[in-house]
Amino acid sequence: MSKPRVAIFDFACCEGCQLQIVNFEEGILDLIGAVDLVEWREGMSEQSHEYDIAIVEGSITRPEDEERLQVIRSRARVLIALGACATTGGVNKLKNNFDLPEVSQCVYGEDSKRPHLKAYPTKAADEVVKVDYYVHGCPIHRPELTYILRCLLLGKRPDIPQYPVCVECKASGNPCLWDYGEVCLGPIIRAGCGSRCPSKGFRCFGCRGYVDDPNVEAAKEVIDKHNLSVEDLKSKMVLFGSKQGPTNE
């Protein structure tokens, strides 16, 4: 029985999530042994138009990106969005809060008039094509990626948390950062990272995107308890929540 062919592609991103794959170190040998890695610009020179699973990192920022992603989707049996830039648009979506011609002018000056430097709205992968699975985070949580890949190799559907980061925080015994004056996004952000930031004393920045059905009333109760406003919460949602579209999960 042939091993599934896997190809990894990148769009607008820092490639930090792909670096997390490299950081598997000796564990990557187990992954390579289970699949046939046919294309990965960051890790090999070979290229292929034939693959079963496509893993895509990065947000879509140009018309040609959309066309390329559509081609990748047409060739792949399964498409996985890797990291915040691909799953929600990530930090790159900050530019969608501004006038796009002004953004181009600010970055490129007179060169902004060139067609290939024109600014387009940043999109998540699922705003262009159907995405089958999501590996959230900035960067991704390596154990989650291996779990999802193992499920696919076994023919099972991975169970991605639909509850907020606060659940993981309480399970870890972490003190609530709201009690220390931090505006933490844990009440509305999807779990699955093991409450990585709060466990280290930092507030949740929201890199995993909103839970599908956030408990808005509970979030309001937390805000009211600490004499803050909804605007205080919204101000912290901008970094990873700008113009965030829904996922297909």
Q: What is the pLDDT of residues 124-149, one digit of tens each?
A: 999 999 999 999 999 999 889 888 98
Reported as a pLDDT band with limits 50, 70 and 90, residue 247 is very low
* CA 240 to chain centroid: 9
Domains of the chain with bracketed CATH: 5-153 (3.40.50.700), 165-241 (no CATH)
**Radius of gyration over every alpha carbon of the chain, rounded to an integer in angstroms:** 19
**Sorting pLDDT into bands at 50, 70 and 90, what band is 248?**
very low
* Residue of 237, 214, 54 whose CA lies nearest to 149: 54
Contact 139, 13 (CB under 8 A): no
Q: Is the pLDDT of residue 53 over 60?
A: yes
CA-CA distance, 40 to 192, in Å (whole number)?
A: 26
- Cβ partners under 8 Å of residue 4, min gap 6: 35, 36, 52, 53, 152, 153
pLDDT of residue 26: 60
| pLDDT band of 73, cuts 50, 70, 90 | very high
* Contact in structure between 9 and 56 (CB atoms under 8 Å): yes
Residues 242 and 135: their CA atoms lie apart, in Å, by 19
**pLDDT confidence bin for 9, thresholds 50/70/90:** very high
pLDDT of 27: 61
Mean pLDDT of the residues in the chain: 89
Q: Which of 3-12, 121-130, 217-226 has the lowest mean pLDDT?
A: 217-226
